[in-house]
Amino acid sequence: MRHLIDPLDFTLEETTKVLDLADRIAENPEVYSHVADGKKIATLFYEPSTRTRLSFESAMLSLGGKALGFAGAEQSSATKGETVADTARVVSCYADIIAMRHPKEGAPLRASMYATVPVINAGDGGHNHPTQTLIDLMTIRQRKGHLDHLTVGFCGDLKFGRTVHSLVNSLVRHPGNEFYFISPEELKIPDYVVEETLKPNQSFYKEVTSLEETLPKLDVLYMTRVQKERFFNEEDYVRLKDTYILNQEKLNLAQPDMPVLHPLPRVDEIATDVDQDPRAAYFDQVQNGKYIRMALIMALLEVPDPLTGRTVL
């Protein structure tokens, strides 16, 4: 039995197979509409996340299955002191697969050690969010045709943005990718990403502060939220905020086929005038999120793909 806790739990080959299946689902959703008939997903969300929870539930429903679960810790047995290990064992009796979101790092890993059904990490604290990484990869591949030899810019809060760290971890597995990290000093990419990921892979990377100067060089731009509470003082926030907002004017500096990604929700770091630009790929990411989760549920439940007759992992 396989789980998905860390984006790197899948080998490069396995990841490619999941992305391929997600592409096939995107093209022929009706072929897959009954492959998980009678199966149940439990969405155990110890902190709210509409987008992610609904995406998992919609994915299972779109495969013919059903969903049950809870949407916040106050609805869970955690309030009665139950451990994640016990909850995992209990819910394994109710569902065929579990998607767990938890504010504490490592909780889904612990759940996977006790569950008797596959567990998907739907985000644990500032740590991992592997389905988001798969979505990002699918969307980049869809837009650019490949995942290697790309110049990728990451902009905004690169310190706390777990989706950034996970995506870098995955992109270094492909040859020739180069990275620009665009952020204020306060929010720059952590040392451990540099030391543990970029240097060992001999990846080219550069830390810069200007979005406008970097934009023309990029094949892909990955935006993130800059949260006010990350700054030491109001002044710094106000001074820096606009620098890391993407609007149509700045986007005019970019290549005509440079997709703009964002894990959403956004607040104001991408102006709404960008939404109509064909380079805006963040709503594609939402749609792809459903397909990735459908592919993942099929992979972990070992449901054969009707188009190939084979299971994916």
Of 129, 141, 165, 293, the catalytic one is: 129
| Residue 269 or 305 with smaller CB distance to a second copy | 269
| Residue 74 or 148 with smaller CB distance to a second copy | 74
Residue 76 lies near a second copy (rule: CB under 8 A): yes
Tell me if residue 80 is catalytic.
yes
Residue 57 lies near a second copy (rule: CB under 8 A): yes
What is the size of the binding site for a second copy (CB under 8 A)? 48
Residue 36 lies near a second copy (rule: CB under 8 A): no
Of 35-43, 101-109, 124-132, 242-250, which segment contacts a second copy by CB under 8 A? 35-43
| Residue 73 or 253 with smaller CB distance to a second copy | 73
- CA gap 188, 154 in Å, rounded: 10
Residue 311 lies near a second copy (rule: CB under 8 A): no
Identified binder of a second copy from the candidate list 69, 118, 161, 184, rule CB under 8 A: 69
Residue 28 lies near a second copy (rule: CB under 8 A): no
Residues 239 to 298 in contact with a second copy, rule: CB under 8 A: 264-267, 272, 283, 286-287, 289-290
Three state DSSP letters for the chain: CCCECCHHHCCHHHHHHHHHHHHHHHHCHHHHCCCCCCCEEEEEECCCCHHHHHHHHHHHHHCCCEEEEECCHHHCHHHHCCCHHHHHHHHCCCCCEEEEEECCCCHHHHHHHHCCCCEEEEEECCCECHHHHHHHHHHHHHHHCCCCCCEEEEECCCCCCHHHHHHHHHHCCCCCCEEEEECCHHHCCCHHHHHHHHCCCCCEEEEECCHHHHHHHCCEEEECCCCHHHCCCHHHHHHHHHHHCECHHHHCCCCCCCCEECCCCCCCCECHHHCCCCCECHHHHHHHHHHHHHHHHHHHCCCCCCCCCCCCC
Of 52, 139, 163, 197, the catalytic one is: 52
Q: Does residue 51 have a known ligand-binding role?
A: yes
Of 79-87, 140-148, 175-183, 242-250, which segment contacts a second copy by CB under 8 A? 79-87
Catalytic residues: 51-52, 80, 101, 129
Residues binding a second copy (CB under 8 A)? 33, 38, 40, 42, 48-51, 54-55, 57-58, 61-62, 66-72, 74-77, 79-82, 85-87, 89-91, 93-95, 264-267, 272, 283, 286-287, 289-290
